[in-house]
Structure 1
Amino acid sequence: MSNAQLKKEIIAYSKRIGIDKIGFASADPFVTLKMRLKTQQDLGYQSGFEKGTLEERTEPDHLLPEAKTIIAIALAYPSKLKNAPRSKSGERRGLFCRASWGEDYHHILRRKLGELEKFIAERNPDEKCLSMVDTGELSDRAVAERAGIGWSGKNCSIITPEFGSYVYLGEMITTLDLPADTPLEDQCGTCNKCIEACPTDALIQGGQLDSNKCIAFLTQTKDFLPEKYREKIGNRLYGCDTCQVVCPENKGKNINNHPEMEPDPEVVKPLLEPLLTISNREFKQRFGSISGSWRGKKPIQRNAIIALAHFKEKSALPALFEVLKNDPRPVIRGTAAWSIGRIGGLETEKELKVAKERENDKEVLQEIEKSLETMKYE
């Protein structure tokens, strides 16, 4: 079988197993990407979640010797939440971003790539393959761009003509020498809507992101959130969709090809107050199957506390007082102190002063003192 014929068979098989889009790229080094990543590194724009050295991230043969081709895949995910529960006074809700709806996409894409690997191995048992999804060394976006899946948008997402940027990406490095596809031309043009809409100005310019300012990154951190970003978070518990929602290429795009990606409204838009005291077991049972749970419950709880301040939810004050008094984690106590101060009310001053007397952690004390200084009494 010729390599061109094998490529056709792989494409046909990918459609049969539910892969929405597939592309093929050479495994040559990503020279331009390497320079861009070095610049990001020098400017301090990296998140710290990146894996591997610059060479491993840009030279596929460092990961798989004799690599010749990279097969890129994309699966489209839904953008509309059906039967979404209302967030109202006394029952405020947070929100997980669309990329955390349904089953964890890492598992879904790995299954698809595993099926592709098996299909290839049955026809070419001597060839080697190495698959990765998101947490691998290679840049999913750079591979997808080279493979013609879509163009790299100013919002730092791959934008496909068919599905917009609402796609999950994965790739497989292989020693097979398959014909490469042609990259798509950039179609963002003069549009800057994503850059203008970014809540924290994390998009420095088209295609350049300061990860440390990005809400999607900030919601995943475990330490105190810098105060200047707390009000920007709103009711986001995990991730941020702003730069995708405003993108004209995403208008009207809502794909429901994969039942396992369909969101449970009560999971992705949960009540905030119960999150403050959720146990590890309860958290795992309820949220463990979605990608937004990967950092554990602490960031989600901290973000829920910030969200209650965003809503100025006075009915949550008793629960926040309990957190400030009894939670063993300084980040959670300190964030609760900040939230209490932002919500305000006559009863809060007494609670904060009592907390100040018993508190030993320096950072928590700073949060209490700032809240007492800036507290509103209406």
Structure 2
Amino acid sequence: MNYAQLKQDIIAYSKEIGIDKIGFTSASAFDEMKSRLIRQQELGYQSGFEEKDIEKRVHPDLIFDKPKSIIAIALAYPSKMKDAPLSKKGARRGLFARASWGQDYHHVLRDKLAQLEAYIIERIPEAKCKSMVDTGELVDRAVAERAGIGWSGKNCAIITPEFGSYVYLGEMITNLPLEPDEPTEEGCGDCNICVDACPTGALIQGGQLDAQKCIAFLTQTKGFLPDEFRSKLGNRIYGCDTCQLVCPKNKKMDFHLHEEFEPDPEIAKPLLQPLLQLSNREFKETYGHVAGSWRGKKPIQRNAIIALAHYKEEGAVPDLVQLMKEDPRPVIRGTAAWAIGKIGTGEGKEALESQLVKEKDPEVIEEIQKGLSFFEEINA
């Protein structure tokens, strides 16, 4: 078999099916990544969403029988939204991060990889392949970096020369001996803009992220958001784009190559108050197709409440009071109470004082007290 020709044929086919960039690397261990992952674990910087077994994350041969190559792919997504609606008083809007615009990228990339896999097996029936997108054992960025897709930026994203960091990544392990590509030359240099711009200081230094402080991670948690991060959330209801938006390598990078990734403005930048009342079915019907829905409606609703507090949207107080009194979920009741205090209306203060004597959950009581303390600060 002429594997050099097969590689070129795979590249050509990848372009036919809409893969924007493809690269190849060996299936050898990711030894450098192992030491970094161990250090992240020791420092408590992991998100908890990762594969727990570090050995599986760095040794392809633990998850695939006799691997020889890994094929990495990248698909570009838009950075700008056409006809984005304005957020204004009485109609405040939240924002999903760009990586959650359009259809869930996991499904789109898995489909591309499935097509690529079918093509390979048609050519080489004895070929074996295993594809993964984001939730697999391997570290997508490590594979993409070694396969020449781009370099690992100081913002912990893969930065490609062609599309900046606005790319989704996926990979396929195979038993075919395909010639590896050369890694891309590092391009951040002395630039430290992303590290300096991170709203919560989650970028400890170039290439090192404390996921526990990262807004992109925090918006996906289901509990009470720690106090120190609430004022940093702004109107983000899923994800965070700051470290990408400030990156000089992303200047003028905006690609609309895939219809699937085009955002619906009313979904990508939704009105906040209607989000508060959505049933599970309504949430699934409206947002179930986007990546930002994977944790369910609770984190989105909690974040929407914090965003309304950020705007000090007085028109939302009746809705927030209703949530504080009636919602069965302590996190939602408590966050609503905190937001009522943050907005600071007389109506809100009365509702907080009334609810304080009725509430039974200790965490919610604490949030009501936080809400009331804002009024004390105003009068101090």
In which range does the TM-score fall when normalised by the shorter chain?
Answer: over 0.9
Aligned to 1:141, the other structure's residue is in SS state helix
In structure 1, the gaps of 5 or more residues are none
Higher deviation after alignment, 119-128 or 217-226: 119-128
Residue type at the aligned position of 1:26:
S
- Aligned partners of 2:347, 2:259: CA distance in 1, in Å? 48
1:328 is the counterpart of 2:328: yes
Please list, as runs of the form range in 1=range in 2, the aligned pairs for 1:203-222 lying within 5 A after superposition.
Answer: 203-222=203-222
- Aligned partners of 1:12, 1:364: CA distance in 2, in Å? 58
1:200 is the counterpart of 2:179: no
- Aligned partners of 2:370, 2:285: CA distance in 1, in Å? 37
Aligned to 1:358, the other structure's residue is in SS state coil
- In the alignment, what sits opposite 1:36? 36
Give CA deviations for 1:280-338 in whole Å, capped at 9, x if unaligned: 01100100000000000000000000000000000000000000010000000000010
Give CA deviations for 1:261-283 in whole Å, capped at 9, x if unaligned: 10000001000001111100110
Offset of 1:377 from its aligned partner?
Answer: 6.0
CA contact (8 A) 1:40 1:46 kept: yes
Q: 1:206 to 1:140 in 2, by over 3 A?
A: same
- In the alignment, what sits opposite 2:175? 175
CA contact (8 A) 1:235 1:304 kept: yes
1:288 is the counterpart of 2:291: no
Aligned to 1:321, the other structure's residue is in SS state helix
CA contact (8 A) 1:302 1:335 kept: yes
- Aligned partners of 1:334, 1:65: CA distance in 2, in Å? 50
- Aligned partners of 2:330, 2:355: CA distance in 1, in Å? 12
- In the alignment, what sits opposite 1:185? 185
Aligned to 1:171, the other structure's residue is in SS state strand
Aligned to 1:233, the other structure's residue is in SS state coil
Give CA deviations for 1:126-180 in whole Å, capped at 9, x if unaligned: 1210000001010000000000000000000000000000000000000000000
- Aligned partners of 2:33, 2:378: CA distance in 1, in Å? 53
Give CA deviations for 1:196-219 in whole Å, capped at 9, x if unaligned: 000000000000000000000000
Give CA deviations for 1:43-89 in whole Å, capped at 9, x if unaligned: 00000000141110000011101001000000000000110011000
Offset of 1:349 from its aligned partner?
Answer: 1.7
- In the alignment, what sits opposite 1:111? 111
Please list, as runs of the form range in 1=range in 2, the aligned pairs for 1:123-272 lying within 5 A after superposition.
Answer: 123-272=123-272
- Aligned partners of 2:210, 2:281: CA distance in 1, in Å? 35
- In the alignment, what sits opposite 1:91? 91
- In the alignment, what sits opposite 1:276? 276
CA contact (8 A) 2:29 2:60 kept: yes
Offset of 1:374 from its aligned partner?
Answer: 2.1
CA contact (8 A) 1:345 1:377 kept: no
- Aligned partners of 2:346, 2:66: CA distance in 1, in Å? 70
Give CA deviations for 1:1-47 in whole Å, capped at 9, x if unaligned: 31101000000000000000000000000001000000000000000
- In the alignment, what sits opposite 2:5? 5
- In the alignment, what sits opposite 1:342? 342
- Aligned partners of 1:193, 1:118: CA distance in 2, in Å? 43
Offset of 1:185 from its aligned partner?
Answer: 1.2
Residue type at the aligned position of 1:7:
K
CA contact (8 A) 2:78 2:255 kept: yes
- In the alignment, what sits opposite 1:373? 373
CA contact (8 A) 1:216 1:239 kept: yes
1:74 is the counterpart of 2:54: no
- In the alignment, what sits opposite 1:63? 63
CA contact (8 A) 1:130 1:172 kept: yes
Please list, as runs of the form range in 1=range in 2, the aligned pairs for 1:39-58 lying within 5 A after superposition.
Answer: 39-58=39-58
CA contact (8 A) 1:346 1:377 kept: no
- Aligned partners of 2:161, 2:350: CA distance in 1, in Å? 57
- In the alignment, what sits opposite 1:354? 354
Aligned to 1:232, the other structure's residue is in SS state coil
In structure 2, the gaps of 5 or more residues are none
Aligned to 2:355, the other structure's residue is in SS state helix
Query: TM-score, normalised on structure 2?
Result: 0.98
Residue type at the aligned position of 1:66:
K
Give CA deviations for 1:90-147 in whole Å, capped at 9, x if unaligned: 0000000000000000000000000000000011111210000001010000000000
Residue type at the aligned position of 1:262:
E
CA contact (8 A) 1:200 1:232 kept: yes
Identity of aligned residues (%): 66
Offset of 1:235 from its aligned partner?
Answer: 0.4
Residue type at the aligned position of 2:186:
D
Aligned length: 378
Higher deviation after alignment, 342-351 or 227-236: 342-351
- Aligned partners of 1:64, 1:213: CA distance in 2, in Å? 34
Offset of 1:348 from its aligned partner?
Answer: 1.7
1:18 is the counterpart of 2:22: no
Runs of 4+ in structure 1 off by over 3 angstroms are none
- Aligned partners of 1:83, 1:223: CA distance in 2, in Å? 34
